[in-house]
Amino acid sequence: MPTLNLKEAAIGQWHRIRAGSVPHQRLAELGFLPMEKVKVLRRSWFGKGALVVQVGNAVFALRPGEAQLVSLEPTA
């Protein structure tokens, strides 16, 4: 199964951050930690700009490069 990252995730679908993945320190400080639930709420036009994502109960805007650092696994 190919690895999915947050930049590629479908809008509105919950995922878990892949166990063993170590995101960028800034992302970890925001709560993007292994096994945390996350979903993409919205993308900017044409998918080239920021993504609005929910991690736990918090909502953030991430640059595409930051979102690409977060490896995901689908939730059951």
Nearest to 10 by CA among 57, 42, 50, 55: 42
If the chain, 76 residues long, is cut into consecutive pieces of 10 residues, what is the mean pLDDT of each piece?
84 90 81 92 84 94 91 79
Task: Return the C-alpha torsion angle 42, 33, 27, 17, nearest 10.
Answer: -40
Q: How confident is the model at residue 20, as a pLDDT? A: 77
- Biggest CA pair distance of the chain: 32
pLDDT of residue 23: 65
| Domains located in the chain, CATH noted | 4-74 (2.30.30.90)
- Predicted model pTM: 0.84
Residue 47 is predicted with a pLDDT of: 63
Q: What is the pLDDT of residue 1?
A: 54
